[in-house]
Amino acid sequence: MEIRKATSFDKDLVLKFCKNTFSWGDYIEKVWSSWLDEGNLFLFEKDFPVGICHTFCFQNQLWIEGIRIDPNFRRQKIASKLILHAELIGKKTNALFSYLLIDTKNIQSLSMANSLNYEIFQMWNYYSLLPKKNSDYEIEFKHSLDSQFFPYYVDSWRWLETNEKILSDLCVQNKVIKSSLNGNNSIAVINDYKHLDKTLIVTLFSGSFDTLSNIISYLQNYAVEKNYERIQILTKENLTSCDSLEYKISFNLMKKSLR
C-alpha cells in the first residue's frame, strides 16, 4: 500500500471507480489531463489504484479536490490518508490554510473532515444557467473592489483568497460586473472554467431580485456572444428562481489551519 504520483497510464483504472460518483456521473475524465499537467495528482494504491486526490497550491493556501475512493475499499481511512498527504505538500509550500468542498448532505465526508480538524467555514450554493440572447439589462464594469468585502472568488471550482492586485487585475480585464437599483447592488466575478471547455463560472454576490435579474440577463447574453455552452454560478445567497436559473446543490467550504 502506498501513495504515489499518478501517471497517464493510471487513467483507465481510476475512471473505473469514478463513473457513478454523482447521479449524473463524474467530471474526473474531463479534468484528468489538466490535473496531471498541473502536478500534485496522486493516488492510493493496493496493487492497483483504489483512491485519488488532487491538490493545488495558491499563495498561502492549499486547495484539495477530486477525492475519489473505489467503493470496494471505502471505510478504510484512505480518503483521510490522501488528505494528510496533500497537507504535507501544502506545508512544504508554506501554505497557512487548507480548503476543501463537501456536499452539505454528505454526512460521512463531513464527519471524516471533522476528524481531521476541518471546520465548516462557509456554505455555498451552485446554480446552473442557460445561455440566451438578451438585450434588456443594465450593468456596469467595476474598476475597483475592496478585498475586505470580497475575500474570495471562485476560479475553476477553487475558492481562492483575493488581494488588491488580484481584484484589480479582474477589474482591468472587465471580469467584474455590477448592477445597482434602488440602493441595492449585485456583483459578479466572471471566469473561464480552465478544465472544462465552453464553461463560464461566476462568483455572485446578490443584493436584490431586480439587480440579480440584470446580472442574469447580462450573463446569458455574454455567454451567447462568447460561445459558451453552460454557465455555472456559485453564491452564498439563496437565489430567487428566474429565467432558466436552476438550483443544483449546496456545499460546505471546509477550512483548516496548517500552522
- Which residue, among 194, 191, 188, has the nearest Cα to 216 in the 3D structure? 188
What phi and psi, each to the nearest 5 degrees, are found at residue 110? -65, -40
In this prediction, residue 26 carries a pLDDT of 85
d(CA 100, CA 199) in angstroms, rounded, equals: 22
* pLDDT reading at 17 higher than 90: yes
Per-residue model confidence as pLDDT tens digits over 103-132:
999 999 999 999 999 999 999 999 999 999
CATH of 2-95, one of 3.30.2010.10, 3.40.50.300, 3.40.50.620, 3.40.630.30: 3.40.630.30
Residue type, 172: V
In this prediction, residue 148 carries a pLDDT of 78
d(CA 133, CA 243) in angstroms, rounded, equals: 12
Exposed / middle / buried, residue 111 (Cβ in 10 Å: 0-12, 13-18, 19+): exposed
Looking at residues 6-35, what average pLDDT do you find? 89
d(CA 6, CA 230) in angstroms, rounded, equals: 30
pTM, two decimal places: 0.92
Domain definitions of the chain by residue range: 2-95, 126-251
Q: How confident is the model at residue 136 (pLDDT cuts 50, 70, 90)?
A: confident
Per-residue model confidence as pLDDT tens digits over 90-101:
999 999 999 999
In this prediction, residue 115 carries a pLDDT of 97
Of the candidate ranges 43-47, 181-185, 216-220, the one whose mean pLDDT is the lowest: 181-185
In this prediction, residue 90 carries a pLDDT of 95
Per-residue model confidence as pLDDT tens digits over 22-66:
777 788 999 999 999 999 999 999 989 999 999 999 989 999 999
Inter-axis angle of helices 107-115 and 78-92, nearest 10? 50
* pLDDT reading at 209 higher than 90: no
* pLDDT reading at 135 higher than 90: no
* pLDDT reading at 82 higher than 90: yes
In this prediction, residue 52 carries a pLDDT of 97
Q: Beta partners for 102? A: 252
In this prediction, residue 244 carries a pLDDT of 84
Asked if 165 contacts 172 with a C-beta cutoff of 8 angstroms, the reply is no
Looking at residues 239-251, what average pLDDT do you find? 86
